[in-house]
Amino acid sequence: MAEQERRSYKSFTEVKETLSPAEERVERWRNTIGLFLGPIVAIILYSIPMPSLTYQAHTLAAIIGWVVVWWICEPIPIPMTALVGAVLCVLFGVAPAAKALGPFADPTIFLFLGSFILAEAMAVHGLDKRFAFGIMSLKWVGNSAGRLLFVYGAICAFISMWISNTATTAMMFPVGLGLVYAMADILAAKTGKPVDATRLRFGTGIMLMAAYSASAGGIGTPVGTPPNLIGMAMIEKFAHVKIPFFQWMLFAIPLLIIMYMLLFILLYALHKPELSVIEGSHEYVKAELKKLGKWTAGQRNALIAFMVAVVLWIIPGFLAVIYGATSAESKFYNTKLPEAIAALIAAALLFILPVNWKEREFTISWKQATKIDWGTLLLFGGGITLGNLMFETKLAEVIGKGLLGFSGATSMWGITFAAIVISILVSEATSNTAAANMCVPVMISLSIAAGVNPIPPAIGATLGASWGFMLPVSTPPNAIVYGSGMIPITKMIRAGAFFDVAGALVLWVGLRILLPLVGLA
């Protein structure tokens, strides 16, 4: 098993061990209540007269009510709930099996698949750790606690642009622990008294930084986090606008930079380090880097495959700039090498590039490749199924018009702000992928009903889905760092609430400025 996976498993185990008896009871009741509440909500929704809906739309509304409750309460794993939703749609006549299960083979699923295999290869060969320790060992970082916090978070955000926020946090978690315990040792030496590392402000700050920067970093590229691909797929399907990889980065990277600067200022102010200088931290990082030894064949091969994917992903953006998005050159490239095919080409290279030709050992084995997060693939497929059926049965249109009347938002940017806020609130209660599946199609339909461009509201809902920071259950990264015992729940709620509010405002202002500049508003 890869080291990254061992770290991830250990972290989630620690989360369970860290929960107080009261918190465990709350989780148990949440799961139990949800198990029965889901079907009850479905029955209630099905029993309520809805003359404006067709039979299929009415039945779909009941099924979605069931699915949403189970996504929030998690009585069964979230990916399995996505499959249950598709099964119910077939059983109750909303759609035939081919239509309900077809989205599980959507091209975007294979973009996920290729990206996940690339990320697994990077973790298996330690390329991700080499990159992280390499940056943190730079002389500029030195032993400054502030610079360590800044660079540590920046590395988390950058890595999370290319691999999942969960894998990023699991990888950087032990690095952060090492820095915190180094500070505790220095404080103990200075005071002559034992220092509890779990009570250090610096420990709270660096643990929150690991989780928050990994989640925020995911917005930077289409493959950084599942909601991005969900939003892009739904925009292409329902708004008939394809957002190329490079065009997404043109507005997302500036947003990420602003968000990260805000995050650093917030966490440094709320959790000011006990010492401004951590003697020995630079040496600790360099020692960890030295342990990695020389570059291995596996690391070089993983880097080659990764760079192939990145180059193939950004070429359409350059073609659009040079020749125009509707040019023959751009259309030819997008037809022959869409993002999903580029990801699969890069993933295939991992099975071709050898690490030991004599033994016929290649960069990644199939056994290693199967360690990827298959649950996310299923969850994404189920989300597309429900989104498609919401539009085909016109359920999304009815919900959109209802929300339009309730919110009073009529302008494109008013709806965009509502989309961001609603998506953030939903993401606090369930996974970011589930939040995107729920919010994006509704916001597109709401925008169409209002007669405005649906792209900014859809992007707002997409980015808002990644902004769940208040609770350990909001995202896996939050759960991982909460397991360190260094983050009192009140401090996570406080920091998360500040970042949620600030994030909503910055996302809205940023999208208002940037989307017109890149031709999406």
**Domain-embedded: residue 219:** no
Beta-strand pair 354-356/361-362: antiparallel
| Tens digit of each residue's pLDDT (9 = 90 or more) over 497-511 | 899 999 999 999 999
Question: pTM, whole model, 2 decimals?
Answer: 0.69
Assess whether pLDDT exceeds 60 at residue 1.
no
Assess whether pLDDT exceeds 60 at residue 19.
no
Q: How many independent structural domains does the chain possess?
A: 1
| Tens digit of each residue's pLDDT (9 = 90 or more) over 104-149 | 888 878 877 887 788 788 878 888 777 767 766 777 777 778 888 8
Measured in whole angstroms, the distance separating CA 53 from the mean position of its chain's CA atoms is 34
**Domain-embedded: residue 116:** yes
Mean of per-residue pLDDT scores for the chain: 83
Q: What pLDDT is stored for residue 13 in this prediction? A: 37
**Domain-embedded: residue 328:** yes
277 DSSP β-pair partners: 144
Q: How many helices (H) and strands (E) does the chain have?
A: 24, 2
Helices in 363-482 by DSSP H: which ranges? Answer: 366-369, 374-392, 395-407, 412-429, 432-450, 455-464, 476-482
Of the ranges 86-95, 193-202, 384-393, 464-473, which is most confident?
Answer: 86-95
**Domain-embedded: residue 315:** yes
**Domain-embedded: residue 79:** no
**Domain-embedded: residue 415:** no
Q: How far apart are the C-alpha atoms of 159 and 168, rounded to whole Å?
A: 6
Range of the domain at 312: 106-125+296-370
**Domain-embedded: residue 82:** no
144 DSSP β-pair partners: 277
DSSP letters, 44-70, are: HHHHS--TTS-HHHHHHHHHHHHHHHH
Helices 145-160/201-217 angle, 10° precision: 30
**Domain-embedded: residue 317:** yes
| Tens digit of each residue's pLDDT (9 = 90 or more) over 301-319 | 999 998 898 788 778 777 8
